[in-house]
């Protein structure tokens, strides 16, 4: 076991009509170029659900409501030890207008297409779960 500090990450798995909000990590961040759900480090004392919603607002400009914790994953990367909480979230204003909105580089991806994307290693189990739950009619 390493003694590295563990960072707590809130991730917003935003679902609308079996599609999920996905972006690409920017060039300056760890895991640059990988796909990602909106998310980031929890502030001190901030619940991961609130963190997921805040990061989604900051990164994609979309207001969401956390519904429930789908999965929690511990992962050790070269750059960090992480505890990730993946929160199922729903858009606060759900309508088909959502598909027309510019979401700062985030796009709505059908569940069946998620396995074709390059997510970080910590996302394997959540992608598998989403495909099982949302890819079949």
Ligand X SMILES: Nc1nc2c([nH]c(=O)n2[C@H]2C[C@H](O)[C@@H](COP(=O)(O)OP(=O)(O)OP(=O)(O)O)O2)c(=O)[nH]1
Under 8 Å CB-to-CB from 11, ≥6 apart: which residues? 37, 38, 39, 52, 55, 84, 85, 86, 87, 126
Residue 57 DSSP SS3: helix
Place of tokens 């909106």: 38
When asked if residue 31 is in the footprint of ligand X (CB under 6 A), the reply is: yes
**Residue closer to ligand X (CB basis): 29 or 118:** 29
67 binds ligand X (CB under 6 A): no
Stretch that binds ligand X, among 63-71, 80-88, 98-106, 107-115 (CB under 6 A): 80-88
82 binds ligand X (CB under 6 A): yes
Q: Is 10 in the site for ligand X (CB under 6 A)?
A: no
User: Should residue 30 be labelled a site residue for ligand X when binding is judged by CB under 6 A?
Assistant: yes
Nearest partner of 73 among 1, 136, 4, 10, judged by Cα: 10
Binding mask 94-113 for ligand X (x = CB under 6 A): --------------------
d(CA 79, CA 85): 18
Where do contacts with ligand X occur on this chain (CB under 6 A)? 9, 11, 29-31, 36-37, 39-41, 80, 82, 84, 120, 122-123
């Amino acid at each position: 076991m390493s003694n590295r500090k563990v960072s707590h990450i809130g991730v917003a798995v935003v679902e609308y009509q079996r599609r999920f909000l996905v972006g690409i990590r920017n060039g300056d961040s760890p895991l640059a170029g990988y796909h990602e759900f909106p998310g980031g480090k929890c502030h001190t004392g901030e619940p991961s659900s609130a963190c997921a919603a805040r990061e989604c607002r900051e990164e994609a400009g979309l207001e969401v409501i956390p519904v429930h914790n789908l999965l929690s994953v511990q992962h050790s990367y070269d750059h960090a030890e992480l505890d990730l909480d993946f929160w199922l979230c729903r858009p606060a204003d759900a309508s088909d207008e959502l598909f027309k909105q510019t979401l700062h580089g985030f796009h709505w991806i059908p569940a069946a297409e998620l396995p074709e994307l390059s997510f970080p290693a910590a996302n394997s189990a959540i992608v598998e779960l989403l495909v099982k739950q949302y890819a079949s009619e």
